[in-house]
Chains A and B, each alone.
Chain A
Amino acid sequence: MEYQPEITLFTCIYCGYMAADTAGALRIQYPPNTKLIRFPCTGKLDVRYILEAFEKGADGVMVVACPIGNCHHFHGNVQATRRVQYAKKLLDEIGLGGERLEIFYMSGGQGGTFANAVSTMVERLKKIGPNPLKNGFKPK
């Protein structure tokens, strides 16, 4: 069976989640590889959540945030961007590779953009391969 990456997708309840919802309402097909976790704002994103997702076996992590300048809490998406950049560095140090993590920006009406983002990430992760921590790894 072809390898299907598992993606943990962190999103805010505003633009990000609404974009996913719009994709559904418009019946736009996108790969079924994501598990959505909603935050009140992507400013709640924490480096620990990202690392925990990878430690528990996620092949990739996506963050879907409001467009820069359009955050409902002013700059939550900017903080999320900084944390993603930091977490990428940590993933490189660990040896998993920072390219397994990415942040995307879109407004609530952009269902097609959401579908494209998921497809982009799935394609990228298929090239990278599965998370080597996935099999037989028991977190403490």
Chain B
Amino acid sequence: MIIANRKPFEEIKAMVAPFNRILILGCGTCVTVDFSGGEKQVGILAAELRMARQLEGKPLETVEHTVQRQCEWEFIDPIADMVRSVDAVLSMACGVGVQAMAERYPDKIVLPALNTVMMGMPIEAGVFVERCAGCGNCVLALTGGICPIARCSKNLLNGPCGGSQNGKCEVNPEIDCAWHLIYEKLKAMGRLDALMEIMGPKDWRPAGGGGPRKIVREEERLEFMEM
């Protein structure tokens, strides 16, 4: 899922300073699961902003709502009346949701309350780690299911580098060396021969090096084709 982090309160407060009535819009998918932008976080941020503004003598009216997914038209179309009734929308979705709202409601100011950080997963309650970098050309078959792009600080394809010390990364001793993990995993599985395959220079175009990416599934499209 997409993992995000709430922006500092001061930054959010400054963004909404010019407005008197805002919609704080949560998203019910990824950012709900990572506790950054779900219904509960919408309630907390709304209460915080109302109280802070009240203390400043400039009361803020908030409308709180959470849609199932902010990144799909079908979920954000039904809230048009709500959006119309406010001065600005403070989106607690990832960057995709913020842009979807800004595109669907072009006359409305849409502000991001979160910093979108990574694609990852919770390894325990409240701890989230990066697992995929969306590079567009998966190599997990060769690396024992451990990604050297997302989990090696240098994205090495034939690692480890000289900075791998006792299984830890030289960038930060809290980070496990991905190539150490890959070696141990393949060794335990008796698959060390997988490391004999040299991975050539990576084509970074599918990773975004060729500009913004787009995927079209012709079999799913509804537009009539010219036959």
> Is A bound to B?
yes
Residues of A within 8 A of B (CB): 46-48, 51-52, 54-55, 90, 93-96, 132-133, 137, 139-140
- Select A139's contact among B9, B44, B50, B55, beta carbons within 8 Å: B50
Alpha-carbon gap, A113 to B43, bound state (A): 34
The answer on a CB contact under 8 Å between A140 and B55 is: no
- The contact size tier of chain B is 10 to 19
User: Which B residues between 45 and 94 are near A, CB-CB below 8 angstroms?
Assistant: 47-48, 50-52, 54-56, 61-62
Taking A51-B51, A55-B50, A140-B50 as contacts, is the C-beta distance between A93 and B10 under 8 angstroms?
A: yes
Distance in angstroms from B22 CB to nearest chain A CB is 11
The answer on a CB contact under 8 Å between A95 and B50 is: no
Chain B, interface SS category: helix
Is B187's beta carbon under 8 Å from chain A?
no
Taking A93-B9, A93-B10, A140-B61 as contacts, is the C-beta distance between A51 and B55 under 8 angstroms?
A: no
- Select B48's contact among A93, A137, A139, A140, beta carbons within 8 Å: A93
Alpha-carbon gap, A51 to B47, bound state (A): 7
Is B40's beta carbon under 8 Å from chain A?
yes
Q: Which residues of A contact B56 (CB under 8 A)?
A: 95
Q: Which residues of A contact B54 (CB under 8 A)?
A: 133, 137
The answer on a CB contact under 8 Å between A52 and B47 is: yes
Chain A, residue nearest B46 (CB)? A140
Q: Which residues of B contact A96 (CB under 8 A)?
A: 51, 55
Q: Which residues of A contact B43 (CB under 8 A)?
A: 48
Distance in angstroms from A22 CB to nearest chain B CB is 34
The answer on a CB contact under 8 Å between A140 and B62 is: yes
The answer on a CB contact under 8 Å between B44 and A48 is: yes
- Select A51's contact among B9, B10, B48, B61, beta carbons within 8 Å: B48
The answer on a CB contact under 8 Å between B48 and A48 is: no
Distance in angstroms from A96 CB to nearest chain B CB is 7
Chain A, residue nearest B21 (CB)? A140
The answer on a CB contact under 8 Å between B55 and A94 is: yes
Q: Which residues of B contact A93 (CB under 8 A)?
A: 9-10, 48, 52
In the A-B complex, the 5 residue pairs with the closest CB atoms: A51-B47, A93-B9, A94-B52, A95-B55, A94-B51
User: Which B residues between 1 and 36 are near A, CB-CB below 8 angstroms?
Assistant: 9-10
Q: Which residues of B contact A46 (CB under 8 A)?
A: 40
Give 13 pairs: A residue, B residue, CB < 8 Å, sorted on A: A46-B40, A47-B44, A48-B47, A52-B47, A54-B51, A55-B51, A90-B44, A90-B48, A93-B9, A93-B52, A94-B9, A94-B51, A95-B55
